[in-house]
Structure 1
Amino acid sequence: MQTKQSYNKLKCLLKNDLLWKLYLRTFKSFLKSWGLQKAILPFLW
């Protein structure tokens, strides 16, 4: 039972991680298309 719970938690975390990466990628390409990436990214990273 405990293993299943941990597995579900891990799955949830992984899903959130993938969503976050997708969001970041979209955000970066959006910035790049506006030509603002070099101006803004140093503040984000």
Structure 2
Amino acid sequence: MWKGCAGPNGARNGVFAARLAREGMSGPLMHLKEFWCMEPNIKW
């Protein structure tokens, strides 16, 4: 049942993101990889 709603839900999320951007909301200042240290800077 969810497969039939996946496309419209993606469109709804896109519209919601566009409305937030129009109001001035921006994205995160750093990438999630940097925030969670998933790829640490290790020099061998």
TM-score, normalising length from structure 2?
0.49
With a CA cutoff of 8 Å and minimum separation of 6, indicate the structure with the bigger relative contact order.
1
TM-score, normalising length from structure 1?
0.48
